[in-house]
Amino acid sequence: MKDLLDKRLVFVTGKGGVGKSTIALALGMAAADAGKRAIVCEVASQEGLSRVFHRNKVGFHEVKLDNNLWGISIDPDEAMREYVLLQLKVKAMRDLLFRSRIFNYLAAATPGLRELVTIGKIWELAQPNRKVRGSTRYDIVVVDAPATGHGVGFLQTPRTFANVARVGPIASQAEALDAFITDSKRTGVAIVALPEEMPVNETAMLEGEITGKVGASVDRIFMNALYPERFSSDEADTLESAADNLDGPERAAALDALREHRRANCQGEQLERLEEMTNAPVTTLPFLFEPELGAEAVRTLASGIAA
């Protein structure tokens, strides 16, 4: 895992519902355990971090969650404000702008601007010499990025703006952001997949788009929630023939075992497909038989990731 955790910035993406947020947090924990100062960023105010850590809303603040581990939920409006504060040193000018209706309407209506300032804030967090007053220096920033489809557009936003704006401060800043995202020494992407046919197809497609269209480096694919192979084929045969003579809970238990066996087999096939269809190294993570995933369960995944 050294490669991924040695980057300054890691985007975690994948199809909806595959466990991106959990893996992003687990990566942050793994980095923190390795002695790095890590911050995990949410970008869609989902507040998953606050749920996992049973705390109040994280919000647009860098909140310390654990030893070496911080979290932030990036709100585009706040990010926009902060951006202007950094750009305009003269208070009178800032006030003029914030009071200006034009600025407020433009800020709300310009397509893609919210994504751009969100990435701008992520970039700012990843800087070794941050300009925000009293700020913490992080070794690694892990982003719980938007899902497939939106994810590629999100990562492309800086280049799109650089193209549209051509010259001027936004253009040069967008270029700097794009250069950062596409610099494989500093920025990495992890894709999260599930061992099912369509998520595997999407992961392969997403890897192609991120390396091709965006030009960023996909360093790792996580195959999440793999069932353990609990029963051998021989055992399954035994169960198959025994199930007919069982009834009640015993029969239900035997059928559960057979289903687990079939699922694990199917998942194994999907894992093979994923490895064939993608280029980045694949790390497998176990399905956790926990009704709800809390901090401890994520920690289990984190130790699996670090190993």
> Site residues for another protein, window 44-63 (CB under 8 A)?
44, 46
Where do the H-state alpha helices sit in the chain? 2-5, 20-33, 48-52, 76-87, 91-99, 101-109, 113-125, 150-165, 169-181, 197-209, 233-243, 248-277, 295-306
The only residue of 229, 256, 272, 296 in contact with another protein, by rule CB under 8 A: 256
d(CA 297, CA 307): 16
Give the nearer residue to another protein in terms of CB position, either 102 or 307: 102
Q: Is 168 in the site for another protein (CB under 8 A)?
A: yes
The only residue of 68, 118, 157, 224 in contact with another protein, by rule CB under 8 A: 157
Question: In whole angstroms, how close is the CB of 202 to another protein at the nearest point?
Answer: 5
Q: Is 263 in the site for another protein (CB under 8 A)?
A: yes
Residue 280's alpha-carbon distances to 3, 191, 192, in angstroms, are: 12, 9, 12
Q: Is 239 in the site for another protein (CB under 8 A)?
A: yes
Q: Is 150 in the site for another protein (CB under 8 A)?
A: yes
Whether 159 and 169 have beta carbons less than 8 Å apart is answered as: no
55-114 positions binding another protein, by CB under 8 A: 83-84, 87-88, 93, 96-97, 100-103, 105-106, 108-112
Question: In whole angstroms, how close is the CB of 175 to another protein at the nearest point?
Answer: 12
Q: Is 16 in the site for another protein (CB under 8 A)?
A: yes
194-213 positions binding another protein, by CB under 8 A: 196-198, 201-202, 205
Q: Is 135 in the site for another protein (CB under 8 A)?
A: no
d(CA 113, CA 124): 16
Cβ contacts of residue 66 below 8 Å, gap of 6+? 29, 32, 53
d(CA 63, CA 72): 6
